Amino acid sequence: MKTKALIARGDAKSYGVAFETIDTADWPEGDVTIRVSHSGVNYKDGLAMTGRAPIIRSFPIVLGIDLAGEVVEAAGRFKTGDKVIVNGWGLSETRWGAYSELVRMPASIVQPLPVGLTGEQAAQIGTAGYTAMLCVMALTGHGLQPGRDAVLVTGASGGVGSVAVSLLARAGFHVIALSGRAEQEGFLRDLGAAEVLGRDAISAGGRPMAKERWAGVVDVVGGQVLADAIAQCRYDGIIAACGMAGGGGLQSTVYPFILRGVTLRGVDSVNVPMARRETAWETLARDLDPALLAALSVTRSFGDLPQIGLDLLEGRLKGRVAVAL
Does 300 engage in binding with ligand NDP (CB under 6 A)? Answer: no
Q: Binders of ligand NDP among 93-132, rule CB under 6 A?
A: 127-128, 131
Q: Which is nearer to ligand NDP, 10 or 249 (CB)?
A: 249
Q: Which of 156, 167, 230, 296 binds ligand NDP (CB under 6 A)?
A: 156
CA-to-CA separations, 281 to 107, 137, 178, in angstroms, rounded = 18, 11, 25
Cα torsion through 119, 123, 124, 127, rounded to 10: 140
Q: Which of 75, 137, 209, 270 binds ligand NDP (CB under 6 A)?
A: 270
Q: Binders of ligand NDP among 217-246, rule CB under 6 A?
A: 220-221, 225, 242-246
Q: Which of 158, 192, 237, 256 binds ligand NDP (CB under 6 A)?
A: 158
Q: Which is nearer to ligand NDP, 33 or 131 (CB)?
A: 131
Nearest to 274 by CA among 112, 139, 145: 112
Within 10 Å of residue 12's Cβ, how many Cβ atoms? 12
Close Cβ partners of 182 (under 8 Å, ≥ 6 residues apart): 198
Q: Binders of ligand NDP among 170-209, rule CB under 6 A?
A: 179-181, 184, 199
Span of 40-48, 67-75, 282-290, 299-307 interacting with ligand NDP by CB under 6 A = 40-48
Within 10 Å of residue 114's Cβ, how many Cβ atoms? 19
Does 140 engage in binding with ligand NDP (CB under 6 A)? Answer: no
Alpha-carbon span 123 to 36, nearest angstrom: 10
Q: 189: helix, coil or strand?
A: helix
Residues that bind ligand NDP (CB under 6 A): 42-44, 127-128, 131, 155-161, 179-181, 184, 199, 220-221, 225, 242-246, 267-270, 312, 315
